[in-house]
A and B are shown apart, each in its own frame.
Chain A
């Protein structure tokens, strides 16, 4: 595959004594949507959180192997974790805006990066909110608390917040699982729009959704990468029987 953004090589992950990810190797292509599917507990979230090293915050977690982002192994000792997280933004399964105003939520990432220019911050906030397709709904009330928004709006706000710091990769952990069909559709459209600028990795439990939005699909089971291919192939003629069984809903 050409234009590889992230190269995962023999990656293992442990929570204490539980071996959660087993020898995972895969190449993730730039400016494409890569969908991650698999039964509950198979390690999808863990895999996603390994890419921006969010698992560092968990006591007793241990990673082995390499995840190479733009030619640099992010698990090298001399890597700046903060730098990795700026490059790989994350949208969580459950929307988690800060208890601050809508504006401050978006501006947060800029401010911690030392941006002081008020004009520039305003510009970025508006741009991010537009990119996340929520600008029209919030433009009149940027100073209102983010908790006043609906669940779907909060999730799009969180997407905007992640975009504001101009990452290169956006990691999404079931971003639409708590949303109604309309809001889900909005988020899906948004993802199609975003891949022009970003490399997107998205975990989803919804097969139709994976088929609709992702260019590549990876199927995980019990911590192993079972199959990984172009989405159209995965969903029409997967190589492994077990992949087919999962996709067609015969189990899981």
Chain B
């Protein structure tokens, strides 16, 4: 008796430890970003950092400037663009899989969607350069197709698996009784889907898209390869853009240690961290509330 109690306590402790490690790592990363960023903000004012679009940390003849506003705008532009593409496609596919497709089709399509999630981002970026880029250049008559639109398309492809499988789960968990009630009133399958099932699954779908969005914002390699990396305030989706992640990836390797520039890159990381953290948290809250409603 005492023995099994002890064992239970051990297992309990082990799981607690696991959770603790995850939290410590998270807090550690956050602390690292904050301490390094603080050094940056000794030199740069926070408002200038966030809202000035002038990023020129290696200026020699004038004072260096550290404004990341154009990168923030670029990041959101590419990510929101991705969401605009991925959301209708993702919800459509999820609805198709949960409501229309035969069991056979579903068994073929679902693994394919999951494989899509496993494609390395370098490969997707590569496709952006050799495939999506030329197509964009041809369609919109631009010199090269490496721009925000290209990034959005690629990120959409990367966000799709998350959005599809979570939205499908959400649609699947809508009680069958809602569907039957709607059909019995003379609603078509389509009306039932649009007016009953999707609204009932909405919070799940929103959570899914926010997770997809969180992933898109933090994605680096694909964006780096496909968006052209031009440091400018973007005016349209056909402009080349430089996102926050690209800046860090490009500059961190070459920047001298412990300079303001070096710290400023950490500060960009902190901003990214906060943005994705907030997005994930919101989606988590929505998801929890949604689970309660379903029960």
Contacts and interface: CB of A to CB of B under 8 A. Distances in A.
Interface string A204-242: 000000000000000000000000000000000000000
Given A85-B185, A161-B185, A99 B293 contact: yes
A60 to B, nearest CB: 11
Contact of B186 (A57, A92, A99, A109): A109
Contacts of A108: 182, 185, 187, 195
A54 B184 CA distance: 7
A92 B180 contact: yes
Nearest to B178: A98
Contacts of A85: 183-186
B200 A112 contact: no
A162 interface: yes
Given A54-B183, A108-B195, A82 B177 contact: no
Instruction: Classify chain B: how many residues form its interface, as a range.
Output: 10 to 19
Contacts of B182: 98, 108, 112
B4 interface: no
Q: Which residue, of B177, B178, B186, B187, has the highest number of chain A Cβ atoms within 10 A?
A: B186
Nearest to B294: A99
Interface of B: 175, 177-188, 191, 195-196, 199-200, 293
A70 to B, nearest CB: 16
Interface in A108-127: 108-109, 111-113
B199 to A, nearest CB: 8
Given A96-B178, A99-B293, A52 B191 contact: no
Interface string A74-111: 00000000110110011010101111100000001101
Contacts, number: 64
B195 A57 contact: no
The residue in B180, B184, B185, B188 that gathers the most chain A C-beta atoms within 10 A of its C-beta is B184
A133 interface: no
Given A92-B181, A96-B180, A83 B186 contact: yes
Contacts of B187: 82, 108-109, 112
Given A96-B177, A96-B178, A90 B188 contact: no
B160 to A, nearest CB: 28
A158 interface: yes
Contacts of B199: 99-100
Contacts of A109: 185-187
